[in-house]
Amino acid sequence: MNKSGLASMGILLSAFFWGTSGILTQIGLVETTPMQLIAIRFIVAAMVAGVFLKPNLKSLSSKSMITGLVLSALLTVMYVTSTIGLKYTSASNAGFIIGAAVVFVPIINQLLFKAKGKPKEYVAAVICLIGLGLVTLAGSTPLNYGDLLCFGDTIAYALFIIYSSRISESEDLNLLGFIQYVLVALFSGTYSLLVEGPVLSIGLESMLVLLTLGVFCTFVAFQVQLRAQQHISAEKAGRLLTFIPIFTVLVDFLVFKTQLSPAAMLGGALIIMATVLGDLDFKHVFASLSGTVAEG
């Protein structure tokens, strides 16, 4: 498998962890506040990064620090809005809204960097949006305060995808990841201690949830995504990340026995179709078909 194929698999793995994290976050919020949860989650991620990535702090440059600050700011906005939003809306609603980042990626990329997307990418984005709506919003409640907060996450996530795809291959991704985790933990931890107070007690179940969020849904997911996005476009990464709500629905089904509706199954099929459409080389397909017809 080539680098692009491996990168696509990596993005799908990240999407699985994101899809699972919405459900785990709602469980974790039973015994913690949103900012406490974010702080603990990123403290765990920073500790794991320090052990496994062994970041070379001596190589820290002003460029790396600026890149880390930008990504950390986007991450902070993403997690504050989505974590608080999950107190007021369902995991599936949040998955749909955050997954809609795929629609904003080509638009923002064109507005900020004059990077024109291909027509098929815009068509694929719209199909993804329709599919996401069918997967997660069929029969759900109308938009509420939590949904609006998740829209903030959507924009921040689209910017994160675009900015991550523009990181130079010469950047030290181990150091960059470590900087992100430390800064987000610092931002959220400081706010939590000053405004919300210290965490008084956390049960075993919540502690296991927080550890899972920190190790797999933060450290592993971001490290895989940062590396994968060096080998595929921001638009393609955005399309692959629309699998987030599909994984959310699947985890709901496997863990909580939530039944899949016909609308959800149709929506999943549309998302898969849109992902294939965005990557399809129509010129090559038509040339192959023409050659087959001519031979016949």
Between the two ends of the chain, the Cα-to-Cα distance in Å is: 32
d(CA 16, CA 283): 32
d(CA 123, CA 42): 36
Tens digit of each residue's pLDDT, the chain (296 residues)? 788 889 999 999 999 998 899 889 988 998 999 999 999 999 999 999 999 988 887 777 888 889 889 999 999 999 999 999 988 887 777 877 787 777 788 888 888 887 777 788 788 888 888 887 786 666 555 567 888 898 899 899 889 988 888 886 667 888 888 999 999 999 999 999 998 887 768 889 999 999 999 999 999 998 998 889 888 888 788 888 878 878 887 887 787 776 667 887 788 788 778 877 776 666 655 555 555 545 55
* Residue 294: predicted pLDDT: 54
Report pTM: 0.80
* Residue 20: predicted pLDDT: 92
| Cβ atoms 22, 95 nearer than 8 A | yes
Classify the phi-psi angles of 171: left when phi > 0, otherwise alpha if psi is within -120 to 50, otherwise beta. Answer: beta
What residues contact 286, with CB distance under 8 A and at least 6 apart?
Answer: none
* Residue 211: predicted pLDDT: 97
d(CA 179, CA 224): 16
Task: Kindly provide the b/e burial profile for residues 155-187, where b requires at least 16 CB atoms within 10 angstroms of the residue's own CB.
Answer: bbbbbbbbbbbebeeebbbbbbbbbbbbbbbbb
